Amino acid sequence: MPFSSRQRIHLYLLGLLLFGSLASAMKTEDFKTCSQSGFCQRNRLYADDAAALGDAFRSPYAVDADSLHLSLEDTAHITADIINKNADKRFTMALTFLQDNTVRVQMNEKDPLHPRFDAHAAHTLVKAPVAQAPQAVDRTQDNQVTMILDASRKVIVTLEPVKVDFLVNDASVITLNDRGFFNFEHLRTKESHKPKMIQQQNDDGTLEDVQHAAEDTMWEETFKSWTDPKPNGPESIALDISFNGFSHVYGIPEHASTLSLKETRGGDNAYTEPYRLYNTDVFEYALDSPTSLYGAIPFMTAHRKDLSAGIFWMNPSETWIDIVKTKSSKNSLAKLLDFGKKEVTTTQTHWMSEAGVLDLFVFLGPTAKDVLRQYTSLTGTPALPQQFAIGYHQCRWNYINQKDVLEVDQKFDEFEMPYDVIWLDIEYTVEKKYFTWDNTKFPDPIAMEKQLDDKGRQLVAIVDPHIKRADDFPVFEVANKDHYFVQKPTGGDYEGWCWPGQSSWPDFFDPKVCQWWQSLFAFDKFVGTRENVHIWHDMNEPSIFNGPEITMQKEMIHHGNWEHRNLHNLYGLLSFAATSEGVRTRTKVPKRPFVLSRSFYAGAQRYGAVWTGDNMADWDSLAMSMPMILSSGLGGMPFNGADVPGFFGNPGPELLARWYQTGVFQPFFRGHAHIDTKRREPYLVDEPYRSITRKALRTRYALLPYWYTLFYDAFKTGTPMMRPMFMEFPQEEQIFAMEDQFMVGDSILVKPITTEQTTSTDVYFPGEQPWYDLETYQPIYHHGYRTVDAPLEKIPAYYRGGRIIPRRERPRRSSAAMALDPFTLMIALDKKSNAEGTLYLDDGESYDYEAGTFAHTHFVYNKGILTCDSLHADGASAGAQAFAKKMSSVRVERLVLMGTHRQPNRVQLLTKQTTLDLAFSYHEAVSSLEIRDPAVSVVECDWTIRFDF
C-alpha cells in the first residue's frame, strides 16, 4: 500500500529523530567502503578465502631458486623471479640493503602487457637511496637465504612460499607475506582472462559453477552514478605485513582516528572497514573513523618497549590497510624464537593498492626517532620554515576587503595580541579566478601589504588548483591552448565543478606544466603581490564537487598517458611542490617559501605546512586535533595544525579559549572560520576569555625560540616538534596509546584541556626526573598520574627536569619585532642538579643558513656552572661570523633555575676580562632562583656563570 503524503511525512520525521544527530555530519554514502572499491573487496576476499582454509592454505607465490642473483658487493641487492603457480606468471623481486638499517623490497611483473606505473618514486624520494652491503650471506638452509646486516640484524628470505623476515637479535620483528595474502594482479586482456569459478550449492541441493565474487569488479565498476571503465582491468597489489610482538602501530595519516591505530575487522573498539588512503575532500568529516581524508602517507611505525620499526609502502594509488592484532602470534618464527613466557601481541596488517608496482621500505629503528630519520632521509626532512610561519596566523573565510584586513590588523595591536600573518580566502579574487584581485574590494593590495610589512607582518592569499574555464582569464587561456590540463580518456580537457563553476585541473605530473605554474607566482604575473605575500593552496586532493567521491574520475589521463588511478594520492603533493617552488623562486635570491596545502603525500614535508582541514567548532574536534597532528608527525609531516577554534560552527568563549591554549602547543597555529560563522577574532571575546586568550598567544610567542629550534631539529633529523609521549618515554607501556597529552620537543609536556567546565585534570608524569609547572615553576616529583588544577586560565604544561629552554619574554606584536629581544633561559634541573638545552637562531627567512649564517648554541648547567658551546660545524666561517656580529647586542637577560633547594651564596659571571657578581632572588616556596641580567651572549660562548651554594 502506498503511503499517503501525511504518512510519508511522519516517516520522514521518524527518520529525523533517529538520524537527527547526523543531519549536518559527514555523508558517508558519498564515499566508498572497501566492498564498494573493487580491488579492496577482491583482496579482502582473497584474505578471507585464505583464512578459511587455515593451515591448508598455501600461498601460490614462490621464489624461483634458479633465478636468485646476489650482487651484494657493489649494489647491495639480491634479485629473483617469483612465480605465481596458480596463474603461471613471473614477477621480479629485488631486495636492496640500504644505509641506516633500511631495506627496500620491490616487486613488479616480469613481462607485463604494458608497463606498470612506477614513475612516482622521483617525486617521492628526495635522492637515490644509498646502498650498504650486508656483512654476510648464508645459503646453507634449504628453503631460505639469510643476509646478515650487522651483529644484531638479519633478513631471511624464505623461498616457497615466498616470505621475508626482518630479524633483530635473532627474533623476527617484521614478516612480509606472513599470512600469504600477497596477491599481485598481473595485467591481462579481457579476452584472455579466465574467470575464477567456484561451486555453489543451489536451494534444491544441486551444485553449480558460478563466478567467484571477485570477478564482479574486474573490468568495470560502478559507484553511485559513476562507472569506472577500467580499461586495464584488474591490476592491484596486496601484501600482508606482520609486526611480531608489537601491540601498537601508528601513522598512515590522514585519518580522524586514534594515535594507536585500531583493528579494522570488527570486535571490541575496532572498525569494520580498513584504514583508507585516498585523498578526498570530506565535508564535515566524521571523528573516530578509518575513512580517508585530504592527505595520504602510507608510512606506518610499530613500537614496543625495546624497539620501533617501520614500513613505507610507496604507492600513490588508492590504498587500504587492514589491521588485526593477535595474541600469541601464529608466526612460527616468533613462536620458535619465543618472546618469553608471557602472551605476546602481534599486529598483522594487510596492505592493498589499486595499481602500480610493489615498492616498500623496511626501517629497523631501533627507536621511533630513528625510524623517522630513516624515512625522512629517503623522502626528505621537513623544510625549515620562515620564522613568521610558526607565529600565530589569523584567517577567516573571508576578510572582505582591504579596509577589513587593516582593521583586523589594527585591532590585534590595540588589544596587544601578537600575530604574524593575516589570510585571504577565495573571495579576494574576481570570480575565483586565482592570480586576480577583486579591485572593488582590494583597490590597492600592494599598499595594504606594505602596511602589514611595516609592522613586520605577512599576508597569505589562496591559490587553488582548479582553473575557471573563462575566456577572459589568461591563466585558463594559456593552459587550454597549451594542453596543460588533465585530459579525458577520449581526449580534450577534463572538466569538473568547483568554486569558480566549470573548471579544469593542471596536470602537475607534466614537468612543463609545473614550470608554467611556478612562473605564475612571479610578482609581475601575480600582480598585487610582493615579498610578504605567501600562498595557501587548498582543494588539491583534487576536490571536484561533481566527481565521484568529490574528486577526479580515475580514468582521466595524465602526462605520459598514465591513468589518474595510478597517481591520485600524488596529485596534491605535485601541486603543493609546484606552488612552493613558484613562491621560492619568485625572488632573485630565493627565500624560504611558505605554502599551506590541504592535500599531501609522502614527501610533502619538504614543501611547507598542512592542516587538518575543515573541522568543527566542538570539544570532540578539539580533542581529535591531538591524535591527528601526532599521527601526521609520525608520518614525517610534522608541520600541521587544526583550525582554531574549529572551522564550522560558532564556538562558545570557553571552547575558544581552550582551543587557543591547545593551539599554542601545536606546530601550525592558525585561527580560521567558515563564512557562515560569527566573527571570532580573539580580541572579540569578552573578559575573562579575552585575557586568557591573550595570555595563550603570548605564551606561544615567548616560546618561539624553543619552537624554532625544534623546527630546525626536525629539518635536520625528521623528529617531529610535537611528539607522542612514547617517543620520549619509549619504555613506559602505559603511555603507548596516550593521545590526550604530548610532548613539545623533548622538554615540555602538555596536557590540554579539551572538555567543557573542567577545573582539574589527571596528568601522567613519565620518567624519573622532576617536572616544573610552566607558569609557577612549582616542581613535581612524581611518576605516574597526578591530578592537577586546571581552571580556565591554566594550561597544564611542564618543563622536563634536566632541560634548558630558551624563551623571549617581552610581549611583541609579531615575531619579527622580537628579532633582537633578550633571552631568558629556563634551567629545569634534574635530580642531580644538571640540565642542558640548545638554541638555534638564524635570520628567519633566507637560505643563508646553508652557508653557515646561523648560530646553534648548546647550554650546559653542571655542578653549579652554566656554560655554553657552539654546535656550529664551522663557527669560524664567514657566515657564522657575520651572524654572530648581527646578534652581538642580543643578550640573556634572565636565568631561572628551577628545582634548586638552596639559596646560593653568590652567583658570579666570569669572562676573560672580568668577574662580576650577579643579583638574584630566591623563591623558596617553589625552589626557584632568578638571576638578574647576566647580559651574556647566546652566540659567543666566552662566559661562565658560577653558582656558589
Binding footprint of other proteins on the chain (CB under 8 A)? 5-6, 8-9, 12-13, 16, 23, 27, 30, 281, 283, 400-401, 403-404, 413-414, 416, 440, 454-456, 497, 499, 543, 545-546, 550, 675-679, 809-813, 816-822, 889, 893-894, 932-933
Q: What's the rounded Cα separation, in Å, for the pair 335 and 314? A: 30
The nearest distance, CB 90 to other proteins, in angstroms, is 44
* Residue among 454 and 524 whose Cβ is closer to other proteins: 454
Nearer to other proteins, 80 or 931 (CB): 931
Residues near 746 by Cβ (< 8 Å), separated by ≥ 6?
A: 723, 728, 800, 803
**In terms of CB distance, is 654 or 681 closer to other proteins?**
681
CA distances from 285 to 280, 292, 369, 935 (A): 10, 9, 30, 52
3-state DSSP of 651-702: CCHHHHHHHHHHHCCCCCEEECCCCCCCCCCHHHCCCCHHHHHHHHHHHHHH
CB contact set of 910 (below 8 Å; sequence gap of 6+): 916, 943, 944, 945, 946
Which positions are catalytic?
Answer: 538, 614
**Three-state DSSP class for residue 561:** helix
Nearer to other proteins (CB atom), residue 111 or residue 414: 414
Q: How many CA atoms lie within 13 A of 555 on its CB side?
A: 17
Spatial distance between the Cα atoms of 742 and 750, rounded to a whole number of angstroms: 6
Q: Dihedral of CA 774/779/782/786: which sign?
A: negative
Tell me which H or E stretch contains 591.
Answer: none
Cell of 149: 646486516
- Nearest approach in angstroms of CB 551 to other proteins is 10
Say which residue the cell 521518524 belongs to: 14
Q: Work out how close the CB of 9 gets to other proteins at its nearest, in angstroms, rounded to a whole number.
A: 6
Measured CA distances, 932 to 420, 462, 892, 935, 945 (Å): 30, 46, 10, 9, 12
Residue with cell 586546571: 790
Judged by CB, which is closer to other proteins: 191, or 676?
676
Q: How far is the CB of 664 from other proteins (least distance, A)?
A: 18
Exposure string of 492-509, with b = 16+ CB inside 10 Å and e = fewer, is ebbebebbbeebbbbbbb
- C-beta of 814: minimal distance to other proteins in Å? 8
Nearest CB to other proteins, comparing residues 166 and 777: 777
For residue 897, give the 3-state DSSP assignment: strand
CA-closest candidate to residue 298, choices 282, 308, 311, 309: 311
Q: How far is the CB of 355 from other proteins (least distance, A)?
A: 25
In the bound complex, what is the minimum distance in angstroms from residue 200's beta carbon to other proteins?
A: 36
Q: Which of 315, 282, 320 has its CA nearest to residue 551?
A: 282
**381 close to 125: Cβ distance less than 8 angstroms:** no
Do the bridges between strand 458-462 and strand 533-537 make them parallel or antiparallel, or are there none, so unpaired? parallel
CB 278 → other proteins: shortest distance, Å?
15
Name which of 451 and 519 has its Cβ closer to other proteins. Answer: 451
- Residue with smaller CB distance to other proteins, 545 or 683: 545
How remote is the C-alpha of 235 from its chain's centroid? 28
Instruction: Compare residues 443 and 511 and give the one whose CB is closer to other proteins.
Output: 443
Amino acid making up residue 321? I
Q: How far is the CB of 446 from other proteins (least distance, A)?
A: 17
CA distance 397 to 499: 13
Per-residue HEC secondary structure of 197-258 comes to: EEEEECCCCCEEEEECHHHHHCCCEEECCEEECCCCCCCCEEEEEEECCCCEEEECCCCCCC
CB-nearer residue toward other proteins: 416 or 756 = 416
Shortest distance, position 712 Cβ to other proteins, whole Å:
22
The closest alpha carbon to 82, from 190, 189, 204, 239, belongs to 239
Distances, alpha carbon 923 to alpha carbons 653, 777, 803, 926, 946, in Å: 35, 10, 20, 6, 19
Q: How far is the CB of 456 from other proteins (least distance, A)?
A: 6
Q: Which residue is associated with the grid cell 643476509?
A: 147
Report the nearest approach of other proteins to the CB of residue 650 (Å). Answer: 10
Query: 3-state class of 94 per DSSP?
Result: strand
CB of 404 to other proteins, least distance (A): 6
Q: Can you tell me the distance from the alpha carbon of 129 to that of 524, in angstroms, rounded to the nearest whole number?
A: 39
Task: Please give the grid coordinates belonging to residue 387.
Answer: 620564522
List the grid coordinates of 467.
Answer: 582553473
**DSSP 8-state code for residue 259:** S
Nearest in space to 276 (alpha carbons), one of 285, 268, 212, 267: 285
Distance, in Å, from the CA atom of 313 to the CA atom of 352, rounded to the nearest integer, reads 10
Query: Cβ neighbours of residue 493 under 8 Å, at least 6 residues apart?
Result: 469, 480, 483, 485, 486, 487, 504
Backbone torsions φ then ψ of 702, nearest 5 degrees: -60, -35
| Rounded-to-integer distance, Cα 803 and Cα 836, Å | 5
Residue closer to other proteins, measured from CB, 603 or 844: 844
